[in-house]
């Protein structure tokens, strides 16, 4: 297995909430192995991605804050010559999620917005997926839904909400519905949450382990006639 081969297992946390301690150790190993690999463009991308994976793992483990801050600083330094790459966007997004976990929702919203703009600036447009999920999640938590939805449209297109909820965007759509409940739009929120729950049940690999129970709870509290 080459140095980048040690990175892929650590990045599994994008797709599912695997064993967080295992992901952390894999991320730490990837940082060490890729730092030894050299300075090619691909190696530098991998070094940034490994640090992003380590920072994400810190959301569900006891990674010391100074280790997270060091990884982010090192990743930012590595990204100086390639600021609009996908790996840089992943790094900034991951740090935003970590800040959210540490209780700073506004910083998380700002960082995930920056990550989205880096991704857009690099010419990347997303099919709805984990990147979009986390942008909306951070903005929703910070009470900045409209900003998050504007970024979502820039990331995936103006009409993504017009399509039926599916297995690739049920998390983002459920986050949107949650925000609607805070605005008192319970009937609309309930419909979206029920569609999101059906889509979550249709996939065998949910991207966030608690989404199904979370959606069920939301559906049960959204009044059907409000």
As a whole number of Å, the CA-based R_g of the chain is 18
The torsion angle over the Cα atoms of residues 96, 101, 105 and 107, rounded to 10 degrees, is -30
Give the list of residues 6+ apart from residue 76 with CB closer than 8 angstroms, or none: 91
Distance of CA 99 to the CA centre of its chain: 12
pLDDT classification of 5: cutoffs 50, 70, 90: low
**Does the structure show a pLDDT above 70 at 65?**
yes
CA distance 4 to 204: 27
CA distance 20 to 4: 20
Say if residues 168 and 127 touch (Cβ distance below 8 Å).
yes
**Does the structure show a pLDDT above 90 at 48?**
yes
Say if residues 121 and 85 touch (Cβ distance below 8 Å).
no
Instruction: Specify the pLDDT at position 179.
Output: 80
pLDDT classification of 2: cutoffs 50, 70, 90: low
* % the chain with pLDDT above 70: 78
Q: What is the mean pLDDT of residues 170-194?
A: 88
Give the list of residues 6+ apart from residue 77 with CB closer than 8 angstroms, or none: none
Say if residues 142 and 101 touch (Cβ distance below 8 Å).
no
Put simply, whether the predicted model's pTM sits higher than 0.85 gets the answer: no
Domain parsing of the chain, residue ranges: 163-226
CA distance 41 to 108: 28
Instruction: Specify the pLDDT at position 7.
Output: 65
């Amino acid at each position: 297995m080459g140095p980048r081969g040690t990175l892929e297992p650590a990045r599994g946390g994008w797709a599912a909430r695997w064993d967080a301690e295992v992901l952390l150790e894999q991320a730490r190993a990837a940082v060490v192995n890729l730092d030894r690999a050299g300075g090619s463009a691909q190696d530098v991308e991998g070094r940034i991605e490994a640090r992003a994976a380590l920072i994400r793992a810190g959301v569900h483990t006891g990674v010391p804050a100074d280790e997270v801050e060091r990884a982010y600083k090192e990743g930012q330094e590595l990204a100086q010559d390639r600021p609009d790459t996908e790996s840089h966007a992943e790094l900034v997004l991951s740090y935003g999620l970590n800040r959210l976990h540490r209780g700073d929702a506004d910083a998380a919203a700002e960082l995930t917005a920056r990550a989205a703009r880096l991704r857009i600036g690099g010419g990347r447009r997303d099919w709805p997926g984990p990147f979009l999920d986390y942008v909306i999640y951070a903005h929703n938590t910070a009470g900045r839904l409209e900003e998050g939805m504007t970024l979502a449209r820039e990331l995936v297109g103006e009409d993504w909400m017009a399509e039926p909820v599916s297995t690739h965007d049920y998390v983002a759509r459920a986050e949107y519905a949650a925000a609607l409940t805070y605005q008192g739009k319970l009937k609309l929120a309930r419909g979206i949450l029920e569609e999101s729950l059906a889509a979550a049940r249709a996939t065998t690999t949910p991207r966030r382990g608690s989404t199904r129970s979370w959606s069920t709870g939301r559906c049960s509290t959204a009044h059907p006639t409000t």
